[in-house]
Structure 1
Amino acid sequence: KELVFYFHDILFKGDNYNNATSAIIGSPEWGNKTALAQPYNFGDLVAFDDPITLDNNLHSPPVGRAQGMYLYDQKSIYSAWLGFTFLFNSTKLVGTLNFAGADPLMNKTRDLSVIGGTGDFFM
């Protein structure tokens, strides 16, 4: 069985508090909390609470939230390490899916490791 979900991450940039779903909570010495560090965002740690939808439209009804963090972890290419949970709150899906691992951002498609689940997704 295949599951396809989209989560929509809107980074806080200093003037978009009402719409932001993520924020830089740690940055390297040369970085700041309202812009990702250059080059390759290396060293930035971002916390997020993003809506999950069944299609690639931010304005579609959410079926849950993606909550967790990601760390930009390479100095020579865009790459991140993720740790987060999908929390489902719809009438069709109840429970959580937990993810952790590398996210090679430059790849056209990416697979992430599912490390656990609860409710409808109990493993």
Structure 2
Amino acid sequence: KELVFYFHDIIYNGKNARNATSAIVGSPAWGNKTNLATPNRFGDVVIFDDPITLDSDLRSTPIGRAQGLYLYDKKEILTAWFGFSFVFNSTQLKGTINFAGADDIMKTTRDLSVVGGTGDFFM
């Protein structure tokens, strides 16, 4: 069975506290917590609590939340490591899908490992 979900990450930039769904909680000495570090965002750690929708429109009704963190872990290229859960509590879906792994952000198609699930997604 194939499931297609979208999660919408709006990083805090110092001016959008009301709409932000993620925030930089750690940064390298040359970075700060309102702008991602350069080059390649290396050393930034971001936490998030993003809405999940069934289409790419941010204004669509959320069916759950994506909650977790990602960190930028390479100096040479833009890449990140993610650890997060899709948390569903709707009439359609209940439970979690848990993800962990490296994300080669520059690739057109990317995969993250599903490492577990609960409720409707129990493995």
Counterparts of 2:17 and 2:89 in 1: how far apart (Å)?
24
The letter of the residue matching 1:12 is Y
Q: CA deviation at 1:54?
A: 0.6
> Given the alignment of the two structures, is residue 75 of structure 1 paired with residue 72 of structure 2, yes or no?
no
Counterpart in the other structure of 2:108: 108
1:47-83 Cα deviation digits (max 9, x unpaired): 0000000111100000000000000011111100000
Counterpart in the other structure of 2:5: 5
Listed as ranges, the matches of 1:36-115 within 5 Å are: 36-115=36-115
TM-score normalised by the chain length of structure 1: 0.99
1:70-118 Cα deviation digits (max 9, x unpaired): 0001111110000000000211100000000000100101111000000
Counterparts of 1:74 and 1:4 in 2: how far apart (Å)?
29
Counterparts of 2:121 and 2:48 in 1: how far apart (Å)?
22
The letter of the residue matching 2:111 is D
Give the CA RMSD over aligned residues: 0.5
Provide runs of 4+ in structure 1 moved above 3 Å. none
- SS of 1:120's equivalent in the other structure is helix
The letter of the residue matching 2:113 is S
Counterparts of 2:78 and 2:2 in 1: how far apart (Å)?
27
Counterparts of 2:63 and 2:5 in 1: how far apart (Å)?
9
TM-score normalised by the chain length of structure 2: 0.99
Counterparts of 2:103 and 2:44 in 1: how far apart (Å)?
14
Counterparts of 1:47 and 1:31 in 2: how far apart (Å)?
16
